[in-house]
Amino acid sequence: MKKATAIFEEGHHRWYAIARDPMRPSFLIDTNEYLVQSGHDALLTDPGGMEIFPTVFSALAEVVDPTQVRQIFASHQDPDVISSLALWIAFNPNIRCHISRLWETFIPHFGGDKQTLIGMPDEGKELHVGVAQLQAVSAHYLHSSGNFHLYDPTAKILFSGDVGAALLPEDDNALYVKDFDRHIAYAKGFHVRWMGSNQAKRDWCERVSKLTIEQLCPQHGAIYRGADVMRFINWFDELKVGMA
Ligand SMILES: [Fe+2]
Ligand SMILES: [Fe+2]
């Protein structure tokens, strides 16, 4: 079963990782959801597919009142990212979903309408959760043509969507990367194939290396923390991507 683990806590400002599910059926790619809470307001990043909605919902309900989840941040349009949207709307019709403006008219095929979907401009924008101010950071072509990451300067957390993802062996369910060199071998094939643009990747590495990041939190696999964050950015910078 999934469970929510606090990965940052400062007063009423918290981040939870609903990450690594040892019980997931093997036909589903494992996904990480993250919950940002500030006071009585919460935002959920990449809530996942409809298949895992009950697991995510019950893990989340252990730590926050689910009615406090008023916003969803979708890094991009994939089914493992946002196909649960209709179920979240059934629970709370007032929920709002931030996604690239490119996907505004595609995502309603999963559910939601003009009111639900808030299209983000290419350059990104500021998001507010309670008193916390977060930044949607552009990451276009990594891997989607309209793609965003979410940075919290107070928590020093970058939610990086599919960037940093690793397809780990089934018995490896650790929350954090322990041995970078061993870990990155499970990330390489994914990045080479799924990341489409070397130019976009270089630009992202340059921008993101200027941010203070203590935890880089991908949508699949373990979280990079401390020195492993820069290790990952440097590794990604060197990697040739966009090859089948
Ligand atoms: Fe994806
Ligand atoms: Fe993904």
Q: What is the pLDDT of residue 24?
A: 83
Ligand nearest to the CA of 142: 1
Q: What is the pLDDT of residue 22?
A: 83
Q: What is the pLDDT of residue 185?
A: 98
Q: What is the pLDDT of residue 21?
A: 86
Tokens standing for residue 228: 């492993």
Distance, in Å, from the CA atom of 221 to the CA atom of 183, rounded to the nearest integer, reads 9
For the chain, the domains span 4-238
Distance, in Å, from the CA atom of 122 to the CA atom of 124, rounded to the nearest integer, reads 6
Q: How far is the CA of 11 from the centre of ligand 2 (A)?
A: 31
What CATH number is given for 4-238 in this structure? 3.60.15.10
Distance, in Å, from the CA atom of 6 to the CA atom of 59, rounded to the nearest integer, reads 12
Residues less than 5 Å from ion ligand 2, measured at CB:
80, 162, 219
From the first residue on, what is the mean pLDDT of each consecutive set of 10 residues in the chain (244 residues)?
95 96 87 98 97 96 98 98 98 98 96 95 98 98 98 98 96 95 98 97 98 98 98 98 90
Q: How far is the CA of 115 from the centre of ligand 1 (A)?
A: 24
Spatial strand order of the sheet with 157-159 comes to 126-129, 132-138, 148-152, 157-159, 215-217, 224-225
Packed helices 180-194 and 227-238: angle between N→C axes, nearest 10 degrees = 40
pLDDT tens column, 74-95: 999 999 999 999 999 999 999 9
Spatial strand order of the sheet with 96-100 comes to 4-10, 13-18, 33-38, 41-45, 69-73, 96-100, 117-120
- 223 Cβ contact list (under 8 Å, min separation 6): 7, 17, 19, 32, 175, 176, 177, 215, 216, 217
pLDDT tens column, 205-238: 999 999 999 999 999 999 999 999 999 999 999 9
Mean residue pLDDT across the chain:
97
Q: What is the pLDDT of residue 234?
A: 98
